[in-house]
């Protein structure tokens, strides 16, 4: 499996290359800027891209800009974005477009190497990986308003969060130490309570959940005046 | 300190015409006094002998001539006044002189026959110039070319009455020409009678034509000029009719009434409608004249009374009298001024009263530049008036809100008048043209409030400068914070994560001895902790999300289910300084609440109301926060540096509410 890694911090980049190589990936190129990443992807057509969000030249959202370009050039490329901080807004439209083959993880997450590699594998397999901290933020964001999420039980909220992270029913069942059937019951309850269309397809389900959560994003809330 | 504000002095010097005008006036007054004195000495009635009429006409004209020439040296009306006054005065004095010299006390005075000749014709030139006076009133210019005929008629009358008649009368000088003597027809040459009759008829025709011109003027003019002309036309019309009636019936009272009507018309024009702008001049003269007379009378009365009481005259008594009189000078002058103002000059009096009333409010309530401008507008009846003030140190002109004025906005038809104090400009008035005397009076009365307004504007400017520098300092601090944040993030934190990654990777190879693996684990954990420390540190400095995605995104990071609820309805981006400040309020508020009210829900509400950003952090914890504590004081400073305000409500046992308002243009 061919991989391109993009990060401007050399030590971190080399670390990523190292653990990916050890895990059997073929890192064909490691670059340090957004435009270089786009070029490398065009040159090598990798199956997977792992990219820092904040890189030269602008040090803002260059990784996301590059990811958007890559999605247009080679839509089948799996992309895992690494962010230094909990800040989902910038990447949210990418996910709403299609969460398939897309991951968004906090950089610190790579230190839990097994979790990180697990997430990468999910994304490579066409799934989604959303960092739990970001999901928590999405959930917390709407907590101040007349919040439809308050109708959920604690367990249902946990299931919703894991769905948003992009986990499969089995993954959720493992996490919560319950049976898969129980998870399905919870999922049905969540979808009914939030008036969402229940879907067995996991990609579409993630998308629905993320869209739902992001709808209560303050950015879409234009001030009333 | 004696504050004396005044309009910048106009270039002035005593001009020859002014000297001539007042000399003529003085001569006229002396002649009138002489005539009256002689008439009284002769025990003759001042009314029946037209002395009173001569006095009224002569004195009125002479004094007006002086005043008008002082204010308007180029206006022929002033000369005509002076000429008319002199003409009457010479005639009156000559009449009284010749009567005494030739009739009542023959031989007591020399030159009786010359005086009789003079008295017979010297009043006539005054009548001859009347058409000119009427047609030139009030500005000294003809209302149109076709009215040139009126001065021409005046000229003809003048030749007839002031040249032919005197020459014809010369040989009859002596008793036949005495004022009261019956004139036998044969003593008068036909040519003289004819010249006199024709001259007077020509003058009357001229006056009538002049009145027609005046009526046209009244129709065309507007505002005060119209009023001036109107009153004069009434007076002159009445005067003409009454004079004829008086001459026909031989009743002097009626003629006197006619002359009074003319002068009243002119007087109304002068005092009510500020004709010739001499009202203040007369006003001052009246005040100082009255005060002088009162003081001298007071001194004399006191001196005599005290001397009578003490029983002898002494220097001490004079000194005491002088002292008492001196004490009375200022209040006496003020009272007299007040009285004269009220009687003569309603408008000016009202205008000055408005400024004085405002002056009395200074110190009792805030009187800002706007209030001063409003008072000036009311007192000058000019709603378009604008007030600009000079900052003394920088010599910079600002408006009432302390904003600098580059190009002075002056509308068409407006004029600019500087206001000076101790030789320095303190303000500029941009206003519709008005009477300089009124303006001067208003500015003088408003001296204290104008200076007050100037100082307030100065304060506003300084305050704005301090605010701006405070905001600049805060902004510079924010930039520095961003730099530190980036350095920590891109430098130290990345390096630590990279190191940890390498160590983790090494550990996974796992063929090391157990204690070495433990060491690796320990090192990795420490690096982890280091990364967390840096994350927390960076967050406190300035969260990257704030710069990257705005306030709403950064605030969202504060949210923690069950602990911190954030609700935020604001535009995506605001001005960076406002975003940073609002962020710090929210952050500090949440940190405090978590520390002091743990277990309670903290709410962060951020919204925009018109042009204010409202940030509120509230909890239902134990309350009792100290608003003057270091943390909150620093926060308040930050908020105030951006022109906002911070309020802390924290009653014991009833939660804490932190409320910040920041100005923001959205």
User: What is the residue-wise DSSP string for A33-93?
Assistant: SHHHHHHHHHHH--SEEEEESS-TTTSSSHHHHHHHHHHHH-TT-EEEEEESSS--HHHHH
Q: Is A218 in CB contact (< 8 Å) with chain B?
A: yes
In contact, A16 and A50? CB cutoff 8 Å:
yes
Cα-trace Rg, chain A: 18
Measure the CA angle with vertex B406, ends B400 and B408; round to 5°.
70
Phi, psi of A106 (to 5 degrees): -75, 145
Distance, in Å, from the CA atom of B182 to the CA atom of B185, rounded to the nearest integer, reads 9
Distance, in Å, from the CA atom of B595 to the CA atom of B592, rounded to the nearest integer, reads 5
Which residue out of A15, A59, A156 would a mutagenesis test of the B interface target, given it has the greatest number of B Cβ atoms within 10 Å? A15
pLDDT confidence of A220, banded at 50, 70, 90? Answer: very low
Q: What local confidence, expressed as pLDDT, does residue B182 receive? A: 61
pLDDT digits (tens, 9 = 90+) for B294-312: 777 877 788 778 878 877 7
Distance, in Å, from the CA atom of B96 to the CA atom of B40, rounded to the nearest integer, reads 9
Distance, in Å, from the CA atom of B164 to the CA atom of B160, rounded to the nearest integer, reads 5
pLDDT at A149 over 80: no
Distance, in Å, from the CA atom of B461 to the CA atom of A65, rounded to the nearest integer, reads 47
Q: How far is B607 from chain A (nearest CA, A)?
A: 7
Q: How far is B10 from chain A (nearest CA, A)?
A: 57
Q: State the sign of the Cα–Cα–Cα–Cα dihedral A16, A18, A22, A26.
A: positive
In contact, A1 and A47? CB cutoff 8 Å:
yes
Q: Which residues of chain A make contact with B549, given a CB cutoff of 8 A?
A: 87, 89-90
Distance, in Å, from the CA atom of B477 to the CA atom of B484, rounded to the nearest integer, reads 11
Q: Is A144 in CB contact (< 8 Å) with chain B?
A: yes
pLDDT at A172 over 70: yes
CB–CB of B560 and A136 under 8 A?
Answer: yes
Angle, helices A202-215/A132-141, rounded to nearest 10 degrees: 40
Which of A30-39, B224-233, B357-366, B383-392 bottoms out in mean pLDDT, i.e. has the lowest? B224-233
Q: What local confidence, expressed as pLDDT, does residue B48 receive? A: 67
pLDDT at B54 over 90: no
Mean pLDDT score, B198-226: 83
pLDDT at B11 over 60: no
Mean pLDDT score, A102-108: 88
Q: What local confidence, expressed as pLDDT, does residue B78 receive? A: 87
CB–CB of B567 and A139 under 8 A?
Answer: no
Mean pLDDT score, B164-179: 81
Distance, in Å, from the CA atom of B349 to the CA atom of B356, rounded to the nearest integer, reads 10
Q: Which residues of chain B make contact with A223, given a CB cutoff of 8 A?
A: 569-571, 607-608, 666
Q: Which residues of chain B make contact with A108, given a CB cutoff of 8 A?
A: 497, 528, 531-532, 535
Q: How far is B569 from chain A (nearest CA, A)?
A: 5
Q: Which two tokens stand for residue B169?
A: 């009368």
Q: What local confidence, expressed as pLDDT, does residue B333 receive? A: 78
Distance, in Å, from the CA atom of A151 to the CA atom of A208, rounded to the nearest integer, reads 18
Q: What local confidence, expressed as pLDDT, does residue B6 receive? A: 45
CB–CB of B561 and A139 under 8 A?
Answer: yes
Place of tokens 């000229």: B155
pLDDT digits (tens, 9 = 90+) for B606-634: 998 888 999 999 988 888 887 777 778 88
pLDDT digits (tens, 9 = 90+) for B472-508: 888 888 888 888 887 887 788 888 888 988 888 888 7
CB–CB of B552 and A113 under 8 A?
Answer: no
Q: What is the mean pLDDT of chain B?
A: 82
Neighbours of B319 (CB within 10 A): 10
Q: What local confidence, expressed as pLDDT, does residue A116 receive? A: 92
Sheet holding B396-398, edge to edge: B5-7, B415-421, B424-431, B386-391, B396-398
Nearest CB neighbour to A137, from listed B490, B556, B610: B556
Instruction: State the DSSP H helix or E strand holding residue B91, giving kind and residue range, or none if neither.
Output: helix B76-99
pLDDT digits (tens, 9 = 90+) for B444-457: 888 888 888 888 88
Residues with Cβ within 8 Å of B548's Cβ and at least 6 positions away in sequence, in order, are A60, A61, A87, A90
Q: Which residues of chain B make contact with A14, given a CB cutoff of 8 A?
A: 498, 502
B561: closest chain A residue by CA:
A140
Q: What is the mean pLDDT of chain A?
A: 83
Q: What local confidence, expressed as pLDDT, does residue A13 receive? A: 92
Which of A136-140, A198-202, B355-359, B408-412 bottoms out in mean pLDDT, i.e. has the lowest? A198-202
Interface of A with B in 105-134 (CB under 8 A): 107-108, 110-111, 113
Q: Which two tokens stand for residue B647?
A: 């309020």
Mean pLDDT score, B220-243: 76
Q: What local confidence, expressed as pLDDT, does residue A211 receive? A: 74
CB–CB of B490 and A59 under 8 A?
Answer: yes
CB–CB of A85 and B564 under 8 A?
Answer: no
Neighbours of B119 (CB within 10 A): 23
Distance, in Å, from the CA atom of B1 to the CA atom of B5, rounded to the nearest integer, reads 12
In contact, B137 and B275? CB cutoff 8 Å:
no
Place of tokens 């009378």: B297
Closest CA to B337 of B320, B353, B321: B353
Q: Which two tokens stand for residue B205?
A: 């025709």
Residues with Cβ within 8 Å of A21's Cβ and at least 6 positions away in sequence, in order, are A27
Q: Which residues of chain B make contact with A218, given a CB cutoff of 8 A?
A: 552, 555-556, 566-570
pLDDT digits (tens, 9 = 90+) for B118-144: 888 888 898 888 888 888 887 888 888
Nearest CB neighbour to B531, from listed A86, A89, A108: A108
Q: How far is A15 from chain B (nearest CA, A)?
A: 5
Closest CA to B605 of B652, B644, B547, B661: B661
pLDDT at A224 over 60: no
Place of tokens 């408005």: B354
pLDDT at B23 over 60: yes
Mean pLDDT score, A135-155: 68
pLDDT at B49 over 70: no
What's the per-residue H, E or C state across B439-461?
HHHHHHHCHHHHHHHHHHHHHHH
pLDDT at B408 over 90: no
pLDDT at B383 over 60: yes
Distance, in Å, from the CA atom of B62 to the CA atom of B614, rounded to the nearest integer, reads 76
Distance, in Å, from the CA atom of B501 to the CA atom of B330, rounded to the nearest integer, reads 96
| B99: preceding bond cis by omega (within 30 degrees) | no
pLDDT confidence of B597, banded at 50, 70, 90? Answer: confident
Q: With pLDDT > 70 as the criterion, what percentage of chain B qualifies?
A: 91
DSSP B487: I
pLDDT confidence of B2, banded at 50, 70, 90? Answer: very low
CB–CB of A19 and B549 under 8 A?
Answer: no
Q: Is A150 exposed, middle or buried (CB count within 10 Å of its CB: 0-12, 13-18, 19+)?
A: exposed
Q: Which residues of chain A make contact with B521, given a CB cutoff of 8 A?
A: none
Neighbours of B22 (CB within 10 A): 19
CB–CB of B501 and A19 under 8 A?
Answer: yes
Q: How far is A168 from chain B (nearest CA, A)?
A: 24
Q: Which residues of chain A make contact with B502, given a CB cutoff of 8 A?
A: 11, 14-15, 18
B560: closest chain A residue by CA:
A140
CB–CB of B569 and A218 under 8 A?
Answer: yes
> How much is the ipTM here?
0.77
Q: Is A205 in CB contact (< 8 Å) with chain B?
A: no
**pTM for this model (two decimals):** 0.48
Q: What local confidence, expressed as pLDDT, does residue A4 receive? A: 96
pLDDT at A193 over 90: no
pLDDT confidence of B555, banded at 50, 70, 90? Answer: confident
Q: What local confidence, expressed as pLDDT, does residue B616 receive? A: 93
DSSP B365: B
| B138: preceding bond cis by omega (within 30 degrees) | yes
Q: Is B116 exposed, middle or buried (CB count within 10 Å of its CB: 0-12, 13-18, 19+)?
A: buried
Angle, helices B190-220/B149-159, rounded to nearest 10 degrees: 160
Mean pLDDT score, B391-410: 80
pLDDT confidence of B660, banded at 50, 70, 90? Answer: very high
pLDDT confidence of A67, banded at 50, 70, 90? Answer: very high
Q: Which residues of chain A make contact with B617, given a CB cutoff of 8 A?
A: none
**How many CB contacts within 8 angstroms connect chain A with chain B?**
146
Q: Which residues of chain A make contact with B579, given a CB cutoff of 8 A?
A: none
């Amino acid at each position: 499996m061919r991989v391109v890694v993009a990060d401007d911090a050399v030590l971190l980049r080399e670390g990523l290359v190292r653990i990916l190589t050890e895990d059997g990936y073929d890192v064909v190129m490691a670059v340090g800027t957004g435009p270089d990443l786009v070029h490398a992807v065009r040159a090598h057509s990798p199956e997977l891209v792992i990219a820092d969000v904040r890189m030269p030249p602008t040090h803002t959202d260059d990784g996301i800009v590059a990811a958007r370009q890559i999605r247009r050039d080679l839509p089948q490329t799996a992309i895992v974005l690494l962010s230094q901080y909990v800040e989902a807004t910038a990447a949210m439209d990418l996910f709403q477009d299609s969460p398939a083959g897309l991951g968004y993880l906090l950089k610190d997450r790579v230190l839990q190497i097994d979790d990180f590699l697990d997430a990468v594998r999910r994304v490579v397999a066409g799934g989604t990986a959303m960092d739990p901290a970001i999901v928590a933020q999405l959930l917390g964001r709407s907590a101040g308003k007349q919040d439809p999420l308050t109708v959920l039980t604690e367990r249902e909220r946990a299931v919703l969060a894991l769905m948003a992270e992009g986990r499969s029913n089995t993954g959720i069942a493992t996490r919560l130490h319950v049976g898969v059937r129980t998870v399905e019951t919870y999922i049905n309850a969540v979808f009914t309570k939030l008036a969402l269309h229940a879907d067995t397809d996991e990609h579409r389900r993630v998308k629905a959940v993320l869209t739902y959560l992001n709808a209560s994003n303050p950015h879409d809330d234009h001030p009333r005046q | 300190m004696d504050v004396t504000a005044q309009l910048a002095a106009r270039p002035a010097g005593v001009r020859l015409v002014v000297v001539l005008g007042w000399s003529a006036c003085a001569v006229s007054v002396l002649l009138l006094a002489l005539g009256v004195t002689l008439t009284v000495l002769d025990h003759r009635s001042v009314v029946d002998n037209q002395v009173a009429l001569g006095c009224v006409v002569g004195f009125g004209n002479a004094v007006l001539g002086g005043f008008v020439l002082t204010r308007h040296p180029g206006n022929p009306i002033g000369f005509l006044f002076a000429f008319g006054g002199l003409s009457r005065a010479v005639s009156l004095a000559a009449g009284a002189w010749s009567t005494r010299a030739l009739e009542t006390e023959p031989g007591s005075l020399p030159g009786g026959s010359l005086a009789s000749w003079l008295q017979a014709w010297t009043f006539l030139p005054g009548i001859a110039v009347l058409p000119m006076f009427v047609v030139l009133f009030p500005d000294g210019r003809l209302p149109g070319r076709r009215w040139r005929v009126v001065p021409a008629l005046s000229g003809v009358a003048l030749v007839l009455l002031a040249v032919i008649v005197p020459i014809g009368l010369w040989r009859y000088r002596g008793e036949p020409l005495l004022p009261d003597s019956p004139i036998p027809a044969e003593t008068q040459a036909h040519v003289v009678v004819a010249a006199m009759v024709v001259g007077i008829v020509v003058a009357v025709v001229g006056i009538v034509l002049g009145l027609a011109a005046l009526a046209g003027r009244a129709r065309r003019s507007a505002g005060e000029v119209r009023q001036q002309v109107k009153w004069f036309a009434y007076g002159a019309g009445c005067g003409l009719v009454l004079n004829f009636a008086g001459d026909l019936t031989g009743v002097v009272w009626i003629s006197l009434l006619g002359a009074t009507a003319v002068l009243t018309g002119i007087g109304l024009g002068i005092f009510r409608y500020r004709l010739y702008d001499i009202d203040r001049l007369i006003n001052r003269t009246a005040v100082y004249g009255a005060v002088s007379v009162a003081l001298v009378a007071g001194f004399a009365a006191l001196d005599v009374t005290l001397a009578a009481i003490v029983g002898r005259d002494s220097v001490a008594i004079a000194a005491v009298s002088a002292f008492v009189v001196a004490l009375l000078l200022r209040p006496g002058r003020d009272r007299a001024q007040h009285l004269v103002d009220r009687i003569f000059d309603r408008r000016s009096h009202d205008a000055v009263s408005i400024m004085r009333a405002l002056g009395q409010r200074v110190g009792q309530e805030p009187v800002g530049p706007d209030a001063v401008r409003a008072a000036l507008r009311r007192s000058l009846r000019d709603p378009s008036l604008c007030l600009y003030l000079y900052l003394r140190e920088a010599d910079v002109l600002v408006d009432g809100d302390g904003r600098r004025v580059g190009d002075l906005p002056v509308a068409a038809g407006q004029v600019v008048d500087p206001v000076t104090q101790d030789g320095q400009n303190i303000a500029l008035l941009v206003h519709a043209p008005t009477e300089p005397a009124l303006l001067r009076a208003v500015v003088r009365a408003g001296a204290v409030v104008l200076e007050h307004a100037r100082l307030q504007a100065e304060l506003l400017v300084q305050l704005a400068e301090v605010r701006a520098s405070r905001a600049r300092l805060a902004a510079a601090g924010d930039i520095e914070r961003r730099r530190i944040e980036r350095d920590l993030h891109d430098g130290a934190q990345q390096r630590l994560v990279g190191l940890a990654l390498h160590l983790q990777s090494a550990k996974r190879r796992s063929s090391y001895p157990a204690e070495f693996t433990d060491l690796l684990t320990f090192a990795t954990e420490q690096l982890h902790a280091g990364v967390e420390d840096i994350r927390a540190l960076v967050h406190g400095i300035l969260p990257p999300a704030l710069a990257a995605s705005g306030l709403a995104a950064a605030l969202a990071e504060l949210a923690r289910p069950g602990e911190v609820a954030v609700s935020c309805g604001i535009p995506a981006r605001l001005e960076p300084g406002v975003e940073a400040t609002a962020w710090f309020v929210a952050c500090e508020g949440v940190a405090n609440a978590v520390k002091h009210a743990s277990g309670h829900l903290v709410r962060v509400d951020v919204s925009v109301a018109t042009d204010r950003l409202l940030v509120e952090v509230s909890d239902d914890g134990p309350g009792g926060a100290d608003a003057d504590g270091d943390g909150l004081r620093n926060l308040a400073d930050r908020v105030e540096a951006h022109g906002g305000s911070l309020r802390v409500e924290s009653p014991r046992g009833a939660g804490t509410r932190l409320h910040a308002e920041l100005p923001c243009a959205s």
